[in-house]
Amino acid sequence: MSFPWFMASRYLRSKHRTGFVSTITYIAAGGVILGVAALVIMLSVTNGFTGEVKERLIGMQAHVTVQRLSGEGIEDFRGLVDQVGRFPGVAGAAPIIESKVLITARRDNGEVDGVLVWGVESASFGTVSDLHRHLRDEPVLHLGPVEGKKVPGIVLGSYLARRMKVGPGDEVLLMTVANMAVEEALAGVTPKLWPFVVTDTFESGLYQYDDNFAFISLADAQRILDLGDTATTIHIRVTDPDQAVPVRKAMDADLHSLYLVRDWTQHSPELFRWMELEKWVIFIALSLIIVVAAFNIMSNLIMSILIKTPEIGILRAMGATAGSIRRIFVYQGLAVGVLGTGLGCFLGFAVCFLQQHFNLITIPGDIYFISSLPVDMQPLDFLLIAAVSLSICLMASIYPARKAAALLPVEAIRYIV
């Protein structure tokens, strides 16, 4: 053990007769512990919420989408599905028809509302979407012909169904104006009505889907929208969502300028930017706890220097250099920082671990659609928090240490009583 470390450890263990300095040391260490633990917990919770939103959002939305640049339907959509399905990293591809229609319950005075309807193939759509996981009755999409019914099936978002006061077994009407002449629309011609029976509802936890989306079969969408044997979009799922961008770039280069290829990061960029910004705002705000604790470390060192001034003078007279004196008090402050940071990381990890495995903190499921606080601990967050905490403690130690090193031996020894 070097001389500065030896003296720093002695000063940390020594107790002044008033006990005031040791109390400040405990308060400083406690502040660092609380600040670091709060940062670990809050960043882990923020990561958990971000991951939950990301999982639900890209679970319903495609990882990559392909559309014609002109906005027209894709005639050879089956060939395009096979083509994009052969790209490395692609887990599945499915043809989709996306359109806006009006919907109403098939009863007197039913509410009329606009919805986004997706025409899908039940089998292939299951390879690109998590919709089946969010179905209320059973994890199978019942679209197209329904046994015992004369009309095809439709699946509605839970909020939409609740607002329309319909459920499985009830019939709804879709109204379209596909290929309707302008003169007919101006003349007040009634849009064509297409009856469907509700086979199930889904609850994804995302309001924009649960309140605005309906799913029908691809064949029914082609029929009511008069699109022929076409699809408007190809939805693609990749094995690793974080690799959606390179997959999108590869497809974009291969498909040339005929198609518009987009990945999930381009669908809701503002949302993910806001969540990332929120994380760093929380980080900066909670770092102030460590800054306050660092001022306590500085106060503790200043008090220690005032008390140990005669000893500093004796050490200087015995040959200790100014650099050695400086390092003694820097090490003393760092020791408090290391202890507080280590215990804070452990405390934060313990709380997050217990939450992950035992769900100690619950939240209203009807509001957040998850029953417990999500937690996602990231090793890089621990390293960043530890680095910031130790840096703050180091900076708080430098000023008092420099003052101690600047003491002249003769002046310091004069304080011996």
| Distance in angstroms (rounded) separating the CA atoms of residues 62 and 44 | 27
Per-residue model confidence (pLDDT) at position 139: 86
Per-residue model confidence (pLDDT) at position 189: 56
Per-residue model confidence (pLDDT) at position 258: 85
Tokens of 159: 């909020």
| Distance in angstroms (rounded) separating the CA atoms of residues 54 and 390 | 32
Per-residue model confidence (pLDDT) at position 61: 87
Per-residue model confidence (pLDDT) at position 181: 52
HEC-encoded secondary structure of the chain:
CCHHHHHHHHHHHCCCCCCHHHHHHHHHHHHHHHHHHHHHHHHHHHHHHHHHHHHHHHHHCCCEEEEECCCCCECCHHHHHHHHHCCCCEEEEEEEEEEEEEEEECCCCCCEEEEEEEEECHHHHCCCCCHHHHECCCCCCCCECCCCCCCCEEEEEHHHHHHHCCCCCCEEEEEECCCCCHHHHHCCCCCEEEEEEEEEEECCCCHHHHCCEEEEEHHHHHHHCCCCCCECEEEEEECCHHHHHHHHHHHHHHHCCCEEEEEHHHCCHHHHHHHHHHHHHHHHHHHHHHHHHHHHHHHHHHHHHHHCHHHHHHHHHCCCCHHHHHHHHHHHHHHHHHHHHHHHHHHHHHHHHHHHHHCCCECCHHHHCCCECCCCCCHHHHHHHHHHHHHHHHHHHHHHHHHHHCCCHHHHHCCCC
Domain positions in the chain are 3-57+271-413, 63-266
Q: Which residue has the tokens 């020791």?
A: 335
In this structure, which long-range contacts are made by residues 161-169, counting pairs with CB atoms below 8 Å and at least 24 apart in sequence?
Answer: 161/198, 161/201, 163/111, 163/113, 163/211, 164/103, 164/104, 164/105, 164/110, 164/111, 164/113, 165/105, 165/111, 166/105, 166/198, 167/198, 167/201, 168/137, 168/198, 168/199, 168/200, 168/201, 169/197, 169/198
Cα 145 to Cα 115, 219, 256, 315, distances in angstroms: 21, 10, 38, 93
Summarised one tens digit per residue, pLDDT across range 314-369 is 888 888 899 999 999 999 999 999 999 999 999 999 999 999 999 888 888 666 76
- Residues of the chain whose pLDDT is less than 70? 1, 14-21, 108-110, 178-190, 365-367, 369, 415-417
Per-residue model confidence (pLDDT) at position 347: 98
Per-residue model confidence (pLDDT) at position 109: 63
Buried b (16+ CB within 10 A) or exposed e, 123-156: ebbbbbbbbeebbeeeeebbbbebeeeebbbbbb
Per-residue model confidence (pLDDT) at position 417: 55
